[in-house]
Structure 1
């Protein structure tokens, strides 16, 4: 039985020297019916913030911002607005990799953050009273400033929020 596995392994190595599957492009291949038109890049599409959330955020933060602690994705639901109450928190929401590296334009990202932070949105009233909406210019100013220690940076902000006597739900710190 062991020799069968060895022969199979050797065959795979010979067929593909790197051990990976290879696909030879078919020059006659055409898109599936209905997909013939070239897609509009997201930063050029005029999607609503809700659709942009589905395209850019939902995969990790899930439908209502509940997050996925097992994958180190923090919960945003009914909490994310608290970041705006501490020093560095406003910029943090722009600079987190999911925001800063999204395919959205600066103005689209600003609209998306404002949509998330609405009282009846994912933030669930956690944003400070008198919340000043993000602008495309503000996003542009912070977007390319990488956070080198994301967990440490986030934990520092959480500690500042805790110092304001705001309850920190368990799933906010994955």
Structure 2
């Protein structure tokens, strides 16, 4: 068994330079035609909240916020505004990794959350009456505090919602 492991290890060592992707960039490589200009970082781009949703959220939460529960990606459609109805929920929407670690600057993230939480948007009427939009300063402050136990915090917020009579759809459950 030990000799077999040594043979496999030797094969991997010999094969690795040919089997791995190039690690050092090719400095002579030219950009694709039409892509010669230096790219603008997302945090400096002036995209609409809808475009920023497509670039930062759609990959997991899908086109209209429907999520992918089988992959532990919760549905936001017609529900996400309920987080604003319980203590800690407002902070949570900024602090979830997809928000807090996105490439968006604080104002862009505030604009995106406000866009999502509009009652004719992804929130679909779930936001509370008199919803106070996020500000850049508020997002900046909440973003600095991380969530240590994301599933636990989320579960606690959902339990608070149930206590005040909000029905939790199966696609939202952790």
TM-score (norm 2): 0.90
Give the 3 Å change call, closer, same or farther, for CA 25–91 of structure 1 in structure 2. closer
Q: Look up the SS of the partner of 1:160 in the other structure.
A: helix
Give the 3 Å change call, closer, same or farther, for CA 136–165 of structure 1 in structure 2. same
Partner in structure 2 of residue 22 of structure 1: 21
Runs (4 or more) in structure 1 with deviation over 6 Å come to none
What is the alpha-carbon distance in structure 2 between the residues aligned to residue 37 and residue 167 of structure 1? 50
- Unaligned ranges ≥5, structure 2: 1-6
- 1:34 CA displacement: 1.1
- 1:11 CA displacement: 4.6
1:136-151 to 2 correspondences below 5 Å: 136-151=136-151
Partner in structure 2 of residue 82 of structure 1: 82
What is the alpha-carbon distance in structure 1 between the residues aligned to residue 21 and residue 131 of structure 2? 52
Partner in structure 1 of residue 112 of structure 2: 112
Partner in structure 2 of residue 65 of structure 1: 65
1:92-103 to 2 correspondences below 5 Å: 92-103=92-103
Higher helix share: 2
Give the 3 Å change call, closer, same or farther, for CA 106–27 of structure 1 in structure 2. closer
Partner in structure 2 of residue 37 of structure 1: 37
Partner in structure 2 of residue 160 of structure 1: 160
Q: CA RMSD in A?
A: 2.0
- 1:29 CA displacement: 1.1
- 1:22 CA displacement: 3.2
What is the alpha-carbon distance in structure 1 between the residues aligned to residue 11 and residue 87 of structure 2? 59
**Most deviating of 137-146 and 8-17:** 8-17
- 1:15 CA displacement: 2.8
1:2-21 to 2 correspondences below 5 Å: 11-16=11-16, 21=20
- Unaligned ranges ≥5, structure 1: 1-6
Query: Do the aligned residues in 2 keep the contact of 1:16 with 1:22 (CA within 8 Å)?
Result: no
Give the 3 Å change call, closer, same or farther, for CA 25–40 of structure 1 in structure 2. closer
- 1:141 CA displacement: 0.8
